[in-house]
Amino acid sequence: MTVDKTGVLVLGCAEPESLARFYAELLGATAGPAGSNGELILVTGRTGVVLGVRRDPDHLPPSWPPPEDSQQVHLRILVAADSLDEAEREAVALGARPVAAEEDGTRPDSRTTLRRYTDPAGHPFVLAAGREDLVPRSSDA
C-alpha cells in the first residue's frame, strides 16, 4: 500500500511574504504560513497547495536563460489559449518581467502558445496555453 503524498515545488527567496502574495494573486489563490516560524509560506488554490515559498536570506536569482547551460526547472502556469494576453497583462502588472523570445532562442510565433517571464525574485516561469480540460475557468469556481 502506498502512503498518500502531495508534492509541492518550493521557491527560495529573501522576502517570501511578497513572493507568495505575487503567486497567490497571479493564480487566484491564498497564501499563508505552513508553520509557526514563518520560514515557509504555502500558496493554496481550489485544488490544494500549488506552491511553497521559503525564506532564504542568501538567495541569488537564477540566470535564465543561461547561455551555456540548459534550463533546469521552471514553473509552468496553464491558461486557456484565448486568455493568454489577459494572463500576460495580469502577470506583468503584478511584477513579472518578460523574457524576450530573442533572448531565449524561441521562435517569435511561439508567443501564441507560450510566454516566458521571471517572477519578482528572478525565478523563471511561463504562461502556456493548456488543454481546455486542465485549465479551470472562473465559471467553474
Rounded to whole angstroms, the Cα distance separating 135 from 88 reads 16
Q: How many helices (H) and strands (E) does the chain have?
A: 3, 8
Amino acid 41: pLDDT? 93
Domains observed in the chain? 9-57 (3.30.720.120), 61-141 (no CATH)
Q: What secondary structure letter does DSSP report for 111?
A: G
Each residue's pLDDT tens digit in the chain (141 positions)? 775 677 788 999 989 999 999 999 999 999 998 877 778 899 998 888 889 999 988 888 877 666 665 556 778 898 888 889 999 999 999 999 998 754 444 444 456 788 999 999 999 899 988 766 556 655 544
Nearest CA-CA partner of 96 in 106, 88, 104: 88
